[in-house]
Amino acid sequence: MRVIIEAPLLVSAQQARYPLALLELFNLCLDQDCHTLEVEPLDAPELKRWTDTLTPAQQKEIEFILDASAERQLRDPPASVVRVADVEEARWEGTVPRLPLRGAVALLRKPLRVLIEGVHDEHFLHAIVPHFYRARFEDWSKREMLKLEHRGGLQNLGHALEQECQARERRLRLFVMFDSDARKRGEPHSESRKVARFCKRNALAHHQLERRAIDNYIPEPAIERWLKQKHPREFDGRWLPRLQAFRLLSDEQRHHYNMKKGFRGDREGAGLADIFDRFLSTKPGQAAHLEEGFSPAVAETFLERIPDAWLAQDGQAPELMELFEKLLRAA
């Protein structure tokens, strides 16, 4: 989070009432490197008047935090912004909220809550995080600067978001990731579109998966690895033909195939998408192997890290980079 301190606050009655709160705000930005902090304007005389009251060690620390924040702001700016001002209560006019000093401290103490649909989504994020973002994601997760919370399906997620957004300050510490449930490219399910519209309307940082569900991000080598571990004796006879048929699908078909229940699951549900018509008519023998899917437990594949090379080969790298850039910048 980008924190902008309005210079008059530094010498305000509010600062005099809570003399330790401002130092705590700076220390939070030092300890939690997901935040940046700046004083506006940077050359304000109020900044010198305030730092003159501090010890030499504290002055050096303040200077270090401001310099490090300015550097990160250029390199990797946070997406969410708050202003800390000489106000008695939060002001929500405009696009950037203005918070009182203690309100800002309370906000920065809170982790970024990442709302997801289920426990397998958590495993998914840890398994597929790109190398470029991995150290930061794992470090911030371990230090509880990121808190993943399961909400159990799109409908429940939508209801949870409605409750969360009743308190405006909560929106600043939320990120939402959810399935598109799309049966074909670029056509998310109505429930997913509803959640996406809600996020946009309430300025919530979010990512709607482009593929149907997290299962569709399992690269073929990872499926093979998991099947061999899960069914070593049956692999050659039962699962290899299914895997070979899966390899014949086009990119769009693989990205929207029902990985858990196969063609039969879709037929018994909302119906099988027409993107599979040609495959069914031209390769009926191969299509028969894909009637049942790879098991309701296929998301267990994400219990093991998936190599970056497999993800890149599967064409996922651009979307995964976008996902984690948005998530980490929201922190």
pLDDT digits (tens, 9 = 90+) for 121-147: 999 999 999 999 999 999 999 999 999
Per-residue pLDDT for 165 more than 90? yes
For the chain, the structural domain boundaries read: 2-109, 111-331
Per-residue pLDDT for 185 more than 90? yes
Tens of pLDDT, residue by residue over 206-262, are: 999 999 999 999 999 999 999 999 999 999 999 999 999 999 999 999 999 999 999
Per-residue pLDDT for 110 more than 90? yes
Mean pLDDT in residue range 34-50: 96
Per-residue pLDDT for 196 more than 90? yes
With residue 177 as reference, give the H or E element that holds it: strand 174-178
pLDDT of the residue at 222? 98
pLDDT of the residue at 76? 87
Beta-sheet pairing, 2-6 with 98-99: unpaired
Confidence category of residue 1, pLDDT binned at 50, 70, 90 = very high
DSSP state of 91: B
Three-state SS at 38: strand
Confidence category of residue 158, pLDDT binned at 50, 70, 90 = very high
pTM of the model: 0.94
CB atoms closer than 10 angstroms to residue 327: 24
Burial (CB count within 10 angstroms: exposed 0-12, middle 13-18, buried 19+), residue 214: buried
- The dihedral sign for the CA sequence 21, 54, 39, 71: negative
Alpha-carbon gap, residue 10 to 3, rounded angstroms: 14
Amino acid type, 166: Q
Confidence category of residue 303, pLDDT binned at 50, 70, 90 = very high
Beta-sheet pairing, 36-40 with 146-150: unpaired
pLDDT of the residue at 269? 94
Question: What percentage of the chain has pLDDT greater than the value 70?
Answer: 100
pLDDT of the residue at 239? 97
Kindly report the average pLDDT of the chain as a whole number.
97
